[in-house]
Amino acid sequence: MFKFKTVLASAVTAAVLATGTSATGADSMSYGTNKGATPMAKADIVDTAVGAGQFNTLAKALTAAGLVDTLKGKGPFTVFAPTDAAFAKIPPAQLNALLADKAALIKVLTYHVVPGEIVAADVKAGPLKTVEGESLNVTTSSMGVKVNGANVIKTDVMASNGVIHVIDTVVVPN
């Protein structure tokens, strides 16, 4: 449970740090670790996300799932954070049902979190194993980077315990 909580806290912080740059092109993301090339932010993933103002639904979901403390943990984490607009694409009844089902919510939220810190310069096409256990499918093109079909709209929102990449759609594990 601690691992799930840490992952969710990272997702929230990542969302708050959504003031990063847009991913543009095949070389804009790849796998790896940030080895000090980018200065770390002072706030953790959760506080960064909350401060951004566009991750209110994600913050609510993390709280409902009991994952805030986890994502405020040491990390590092890479969070593919859906915005409020991404959550708004889910029909209200379906979203409310998800928020009320803690086990399902944990599964969905931890699917957005990857162990380790992966900055945009290190991302490449292919599978990326999540904390949830399944892999995300990362694709790159001249149009940008996608994660399971969700567009990465901002990258490298740095937090003290990881990095947030902002996505425009909530991704769901199989």
Q: Residue 140 contacts by C-beta under 8 Å, 6 or more apart in sequence? A: 25, 26, 27, 28, 29, 123, 124, 125, 146
Written as one string, the DSSP assignment of 55-66 is -HHHHHHHHHHT
DSSP annotation of 30 reads: B
The helix-helix angle for 56-65 and 102-110 (nearest 10°) equals 120
Q: To the nearest whole number, what is the mean pLDDT of the chain? A: 82
On the question of pLDDT at 163 being above 70, the answer is: yes
More confident call, 16 vs 134: 134
- What domains sit in the chain, N to C, each tagged with a CATH number? 2-167 (2.30.180.10)
Phi/psi of residue 60, each to 5°? Answer: -60, -40
Q: Is the pTM of this model over 0.85?
A: no
Q: Contact, 119 vs 32, CB < 8 A?
A: yes
Query: Looking at residues 157-174, what average pLDDT do you find?
Result: 96
On the question of pLDDT at 106 being above 80, the answer is: yes
Tens of pLDDT along 17-72? 333 333 333 333 333 333 444 454 589 999 998 899 999 999 999 999 999 999 99
